[in-house]
Chain A
Amino acid sequence: MSHVKIVLKTEQVDEIKAICKAFHNDEGELINVLHKVQTFFGYLPAEVQEVIAHELRMSVAKVFGVVTFYSFFTMKPKGRFPISVCMGTACYVRGAEKVLDEFKRHLKIKVGESTPDGKFSLSSLRCVGACGLAPVVMVGEKVYGRVSSEDVKKIVAEYND
């Protein structure tokens, strides 16, 4: 796995330590700690896992094992504009996969990745409950309905500064 080294600021380390402490530095609370830290950080980079492992007195490999076990946890930062394509049944039958493929092609990233400039990230999600608008794409909080693969370029262009 390619690994970009990030340097944690003292305040960030302190925050992680405080979260661990709130869970009594208890190894058994690892999942809760990871959850809390991810909420705070947005993601769980290697360095953050190192701090957690140290605080909970467990091996980094074990922490990493748990992070990779649950799909909820992610080691990659979301882009400034996270793009999610709904893959619920309604969206799927109306061509959501093509839309997703077009985003991948256009942004040159895979699902779960971000563009190198950190601007966009791509994920797929389960039904968002807007089936009337299928296929649905979300960029941040903004919802786009009846998206076709031809619209992809236009949507991305909206976020060009």
Chain B
Amino acid sequence: MELIKLTIDNKAIEIEKGTTILKAAKQNGINIPTLCYLELKDLKIVNKPGGCRICVVEVEGRRNLAPACVTECQPGMVIHTHSVRVINTRRTVLELILSDHPFDCLICPKNGNCELQTMAQKFGVREIPFQGVQSTYRKDFSPSIIRDIDKCIMCRRCEMMCNEFQTVGALSAINRGFESVVSTAFDQLLEKSVCTYCGQCIAVCPVGALTEADHTSKVIRAIADPTKTVIVQTAPAVRAALGEEFGYAPGTLVTGKMAAALRRLEFDYIFDTDWAADLTIWEEGHELLDRLSRHLAGDKTVKLPILTSCCPAWVKFFEHQFPEMHEIPSTAKSPQQMFGAMAKSYFVEKLGITREEMVVVSIMPCVAKKYESSRPEFAVNDNPDVDFSLTTRELAALIRQSNIDFNNLPDEDFDSPMGSSTGAGVIFGTTGGVIEAACRTAYEVFTKKPLEKIDFKELRGLDGIRSATIDFDGLPINIGIAHGLGNARKLLEEVKAGKSKFHAIEIMACPGGCINGGGQPLHHGDSEVIKARWRAIYEEDANKPLRKSHENPDIIKLYEEYLGKPLGEKAHHLLHTHYFDRRTDIVIDLEK
């Protein structure tokens, strides 16, 4: 490691060669403002187009100011990060950006959470000296995402996420100069594109150009309707992040307060998607064992590896990009949809009401779940199994709107019979968790022996692609894990080429899994936030009295009372699904 010496803000420092001015400053406690730049260190995500120039600094002897995010430190540099010239230039840059930005902050969904707004506040901008035409584009409404491109500041973070990281390729910068904007192929609606609704573009957009389709008012109306029984389910990752919206440190578990808040919002039953996650493991785990044992018995028609199917963005990804492989993923529905299907069959029967009289709301860390719940195969006579899917952010908005003092709520419990869960259900919220939950059950069912060690530490971590071999009492099971669709693509290409060594692969579309879903509180480029949530999920798991899905007493009862056995006829009908070929209609089939 070669060290170089330089001066920043009159402070002599030593820094590793190749470090950018931005990082050098940060390591020495000096903050330089950034807009287009984004780095999520532990997830290997970087955006540095060097485009916005808000990060400029003065380097003595250099004629122009240098953008700190892309300029490397040189020996002997003398840098000023807040000289008059720097401050004035930054202000001008900001004023120019603002001159082509709508001024509807007060009614913007990002009000109070916008990086541009924060910057304007910080710089004390009071007027915009530049006047000119503002660019306008049509608003684009899709089932999950709203694009309001008038607000786009062309940081191109979304483009990087969608292309480099996710390898989806739905978004690209188009046109030139003043007209340039991030859009889809042929400037079509997002709905007509190959977008997976992963929402990772929303997760990084600094402004209000990309936000979720907001369903909060529909939920409020449903709750107020006396003819409806409104029940709610909350996904595992929500409890590890919701607190951030109310000032708690990242990684604070707020499970009990969340249940209490939902009760104050007057949902009729407070249930848990973790319950449905346990149910998913019963189905998916048995499907894995079924495929495995047929494979071991020499059945050549068995498709291996089996791929998990809980993540709707991942499902849509392979439907667009690998439609020929539609037989490989598990047919098990996602926990959200299993919950909906059981609520509107098993639970309405218990209550003696019709499915039309019930409204199922889900709270998800995800925006793709909105799209998933709208898929026609998840409805009976046009009545969807899940009526409304809200993000963690939308739940926070509901709580604030209703003036609930979240921080002073007591801890409360979920209701019965769809509210109990094991630790295995909880870890669905993070990368590696679904497959660990599946292993805990599959191992015991397959070997008929109790697990000595419940924690499969070898499956945990945040590396994009991971693998481990689990010993099923003499039978080695090869497990693959990918999070982020670019990483998933690598494993899928192997499967397609017949070179995959795995028996089972877990895939989640978002980097980190659901803890960093597109519907979570915004991380604003701080990957420590995601790591804290990750630790919280395993903490919740460790604290649960039961930690294996097949031990959940309410699920055991559900099979006894209602479903029969895993993969049985009723279970198959209610809990399994199928996939479609979604190559878009203008794509010509070139494989032929």
Contact = CB atoms under 8 A, between A and B. Distances in A.
Contacts of B168: 59
B351 interface: no
Contact of B172 (A1, A51, A55, A65): A65
B187 interface: yes
B188 A51 contact: no
A1 B185 CA distance: 11
A61 B193 contact: yes
B171 interface: yes
Interface string B288-313: 00000000000000000000000000
A5 B188 contact: no
Interface string A1-28: 1010100100001000000000000000
- Range class of the A interface residue count: 20 to 34
A31 interface: no
B373 to A, nearest CB: 26
B590 interface: yes
Contacts of A3: 186, 188, 586
Interface string A52-75: 001100111111110011110000
B163 interface: yes
Interface string B132-176: 000000000000000000000000000000010000111111111
A64 B170 CA distance: 11
A50 B194 CA distance: 13
A47 B176 CA distance: 22
B185 A64 contact: yes
A112 to B, nearest CB: 13
Given A68-B174, A68-B176, A69-B176, A61 B185 contact: yes
Contact of B588 (A8, A59, A70, A71): A8
A59 B169 contact: yes
Q: Which of A1, A5, A61 neighbours the largest number of chain B CB atoms within 10 Å of its CB?
A: A61
Q: Which of B186, B188, B588, B590 neighbours the largest number of chain A CB atoms within 10 Å of its CB?
A: B186
A60 B185 contact: yes
- Range class of the B interface residue count: 20 to 34
Nearest to A13: B588
Given A8-B588, A59-B185, A64 B174 contact: yes
Interface string B564-592: 00000000000000000000001110100
A131 interface: no
B586 A62 contact: no
A46 interface: yes
B170 A46 contact: no
B485 to A, nearest CB: 13
Contacts of B170: 59, 61
B590 A54 contact: yes
A3 B187 CA distance: 10
B184 interface: yes
Nearest to A69: B176
B299 to A, nearest CB: 35
B586 A5 contact: yes
Interface string B182-214: 011111100001100000000000000000000
B186 A62 contact: no
Interface in B449-480: none
A1 B186 contact: yes
Given A1-B188, A50-B588, A51-B590, A62 B175 contact: no
A63 B185 CA distance: 8
Nearest to B175: A68
Q: Which of A3, A54, A68, A70 neighbours the largest number of chain B CB atoms within 10 Å of its CB?
A: A68
A64 B184 CA distance: 8
A80 B188 CA distance: 28
Contact of A47 (B169, B180, B588): B588
Nearest to B192: A3
A62 B172 contact: yes
B96 to A, nearest CB: 21
A61 B187 CA distance: 9
Given A46-B186, A64-B172, 6 more contacts: A1-B186, A47-B588, A50-B588, A60-B185, A69-B173, A71-B176
Interface of A: 1, 3, 5, 8, 13, 46-47, 49-51, 54-55, 58-65, 68-71
30 contacts: A1-B187, A1-B188, A3-B586, A13-B590, A46-B185, A46-B186, A49-B186, A50-B586, A50-B587, A51-B588, A54-B587, A55-B590, A59-B169, A59-B185, A60-B185, A60-B186, A61-B170, A61-B174, A61-B184, A62-B163, A62-B169, A62-B172, A63-B185, A64-B185, A65-B174, A68-B174, A68-B176, A69-B180, A70-B176, A71-B176
Rank and list the top 8 A-B pairs by shortest CB-CB distance, nearest first: A59-B169, A65-B172, A61-B172, A60-B185, A61-B185, A68-B174, A64-B185, A65-B174
